[in-house]
Structure 1
Amino acid sequence: MGDIAKGVLGGGWALLVGWVLPAAINLAVFFFAVAPSLRGSIELVDRAWPTSKSDTTLLLLISAVLVGLVLNALQQPLYRFLEGYVLWPRRAYARGCRIQRTRKQRIADRVRTPAPGLSPIQLGVLHEQLSRYPHSDDQVGPTRLANAIRRFEEYGHDRYRLDTQVLWNELSATVPDHARRQTDTSRTNVDFFVALLYGHAAVAATALAALPGGGRRGAVLWAAALTLLALIPVWYRSAVAATDEWAAAVRALVNLGRKPLAEALGLVLPQDLAKEREMWQLVTRMSRRPYHPAADQLLAPYRAAPGDGQNPPPAPNAE
C-alpha cells in the first residue's frame, strides 16, 4: 500500500488532479446539461446512453480517464496556443506583445510612483502583477500566461546563464527529490485550470450547436453555454495566478540544482559569479551546438580533477 500511495502522490497525482479531474467535471456538465438534448437526434448518443446509475458512473469514470490522458498528451500545444505561440497570426502576435509591454510599463510606473492613498496591500498586488513578467522587454510574449511562464523560463539564464530550456532534463535528474516533486506538484494547479478552460469551451460549443434541435431544453442549453463561456476568463486568470507557485519551485530548482548539476557534469562550481555565468554559458553551448575543439580549452579551467570535484577551479589563463 505504501508503494501505491507513493506512486499516486508522484506523477500519477499530477495526472489525476491536473487533467483527469477537470475532464470529469466537464464531462459531468456535458452529460447532465447537454447530452439529453442530443438523444433521439444522434444514434451514437442513444446507444451509449447508460441505463442505470452504476452504468452512468462507470461511463463517466472511463471517459474522464481517457479524455484526461489525451489532454495530458496534448498539453504542449494546448499551452502553446494560450501563450500565443501556436496558431496565432503574425499581426495578432505582434499586437499582443505590444499590449503586454504597455501593460508591464504601466504597472512598473505605478509601482515606481505610487498614487496617493495607495495602501501597502494594493502596492503588494502591483508588485505581484509586475513579477509575472520577464525582466527583459525582449522576452515579453503576447499573453499574460505566456509572460507568467516566460519569467521563470528565463530565470536560470538571466541569473547564471544556465539555460533551463536546454538543460532541463539534466537539471531535473540531479536536483534533490523534494525539489523535483515540488516543481511537478506546483505545475498541477496550472494544468487543472488549463484543462478546465478547454473543456468549458468544448462543452459550451456543443451546447450552442445543439440549440436548433434542443426543443424545450433550449433554456438549459443557453444557461449552460453562457455560464461556461463566462467562466473561461476566470479559469484563465486563475491559471496565470497559479504560475506563482510554479515559478517559485523552478527558481528553487535552479538555485539548489546548480551545484549538483556541475558535479554530475564533471565540473566545479566557481566561487566567482561572473566565472560561473561563463561556465554555464559554455555548457549550454556544448549542449545546443555541434562540438568544436575550442570547447576543450575553454572548459578546462572548470573541469574537476579526477577523483576530486570539490576543489575550486584555477583562474583561466589571461592569455
Structure 2
Amino acid sequence: MLTDVVRETTGLLDRRFLLNALLPTLITLGLLGTVVAGTLTDPATALRAWNALDGTIKVLAGTGVVVVAVLIAAIVSGAAQTITRCYEGLWPGRLGHILLLPGTHRHRRRARRLGFERGAADYPVDPADVLPTRLGNILRAAESYPADRYGADAVLTWPRLFPLLPDKLTASLASARAELEFQVMISAHAAFFAVAAGGWLAVTGGPPWLFLTCYWSAAALAWATYRGALAPARLYGDQVRVAFDLYRHELLDRLGMDGDEQWARLNQFWHRNIPLGTPLLPKSDDRPAVKALPSVSLSVLAWFLLIGSGLLVVWLR
C-alpha cells in the first residue's frame, strides 16, 4: 500500500519537483531520523520494535512520513529562488552585506586581475555589480549583459522576451535552470543536515566520530554540489545572452519600435511609467565608489570555521 501511495503521489507532481525538492527532502529526513533514533535507542531494539508493529500501523506511519515530506518539499520548492539568491550572496539587510563584504572585495580583485575578456562569463563589467560568490557573479554577468551591449534592462525585458523564444531555446533554458536548482537544493539540504545532525549529536553527547562524520561529510557535500552548480549556471547565462542577441529585435517589432536605441525609453516606461515620447531622463551617477578593502575567500573562511568548530566541540566534550 505504501508503494501505491508513493506512486499516486509522484503521478501528481512534475519531475522537477521530485528531483529538486521531494527526493532531497526524503533523503535528508531519513538520514536525520536515523541519527536521532540511533542516539535515543539501540538500533537492534528499534528494529525489533518496528517489526513487532501491526502492518496497518506501518502503512500509516510510512504514509505519514511521505505526506510530511511532500509538505516540507513544497515549502522548500517555493523557497528555491530565495535559497538560490542566498547562494548568490544576496543576503538581506545591512548585516548580511557586512558579513559578505570580504568576499565581495576578493571577487572584485579577481575580476580586475582577469580583465573583461577572460572574465566576461564569470563577472559583470561594472565592479560595483560584483557579488561575494562565484555563482552570484556568473548569474549577475548574464543579467548585466543586455544592458552593457544593448541598453536593455534584463529584469524588465526578460518576462516580455521569454514568451517569444522558440521552444528549443526555452527547453535549453529550463534544463540548465533545473540543473542549477538541483545542485543548489542538494547543497542546501546537505548544509541543513550538517547543522541539524551535528547540533543534535553535540547536545545529546553522541560519539565524536559520528559527530565529525555527519558534520564534515555533509559540509563537504554541500560545498561540492555548490561548485557543481557553477557549470549549469554558466550554461544558463550563455543561453540568456543568446536569447537577447537573436530575439531582442522580435520583441521590438511586437512593440512597434525599431533600433536598440529604443531600449532606454522602454526601460523608463516599464520602470517608471514614463510615456515613450518623453525625453530621456539624465542618468543618475549614484553608484557607490568601489574601495580597495581587505578580502578573503568565503570558501576558505567557511572551511576554517567548519573544521575549527568541529574540533572545538570534540575538545569541549
* Residue identity opposite 2:38 in structure 1: S
Residue equivalent to 1:222: 212
1:284 CA drift (Å): 1.5
**Counterpart position of 2:23:** 21
Which letter maps to 1:202? F
Q: Cα offset for 1:18? A: 2.6
Q: CA deviation at 1:150?
A: 0.2
1:19·1:191 contact (CA, 8 Å) conserved in 2? no
Give the fraction of aligned pairs with identical amino acids, expressed as a percent: 25
For structure 2, which runs of at least 5 residues remain unmatched after alignment? 1-9, 42-49, 281-317
TM-score using structure 1 length:
0.69
Following superposition, the deviation at residue 187 of structure 1 comes to 0.7
Deviation, structure 1 residue 244: 1.4
The alignment covers a number of residue pairs equal to: 258
Structure 1: give runs of 5+ residues left out of the alignment. Answer: 1-7, 41-48, 112-126, 271-275, 300-319
Residue 231 of structure 1 deviates from its aligned partner by: 1.9
Verify: 1:188 aligned to 2:178, yes or no. yes
- Per-residue CA shift, 1:288-314, capped at 9, x if unaligned? 01234xx22669xxxxxxxxxxxxxxx
RMSD of aligned C-alpha atoms?
A: 3.4
Mark the CA change 1:258 to 1:130 in structure 2 (over 3 Å): closer, same or farther.
closer
Q: Establish whether residue 296 from structure 1 lines up as the match of residue 277 from structure 2.
A: yes
C-alpha contact 1:208 1:222 (8 A) present in aligned 2 = yes
CA contact (8 A) 2:143 2:154 kept: yes
Instruction: List aligned pairs for 1:60-139, cutoff 5 A.
Output: 61-87=66-92, 88-108=95-115, 127=118, 131-139=121-129
- How far apart, CA to CA, are the structure 1 residues paired with 2:241 and 2:61? 44
What pairs with 1:170-249 in structure 2 (closer than 5 Å)? 170-212=160-202, 219-249=209-239
| CA apart distance, 1:218 | 5.8
1:171-207 deviation line (CA, Å, top 9, x unaligned): 1122222222221221111111211111112111221
Report if the CA contact (8 A) 1:18-1:192 is conserved: yes
Q: 1:214–1:221: 8 Å Cα contact kept in structure 2? A: no
Three-state SS of the structure 1 residue aligned to 2:132 is coil
Opposite residue 210 of structure 1, the aligned amino acid is W
Task: Supply the distance in 2 between the matched residues of 1:190 and 1:71 (Cα, whole angstroms).
Answer: 15
SS at match of 2:229: helix
C-alpha distance in 1 between matches for 2:122 and 2:242: 17
Deviation of 1:104 after TM superposition, in Å, equals 2.1
For structure 1, which segment, 19-28 or 155-164, has the greater mean C-alpha deviation from structure 2 after superposition? 19-28
Answering whether residue 235 of structure 2 is matched by residue 252 of structure 1, we say: no
Q: Secondary structure at the match of 1:85?
A: coil
1:45-71 alpha-carbon deviations (Å, 9 max, x no partner): xxxx89677667645543443232212
Q: Within 2, Cα distance between the matches of 1:250 and 1:21? A: 29
Q: Is contact 1:164–1:171 with CA below 8 Å preserved after alignment? A: no
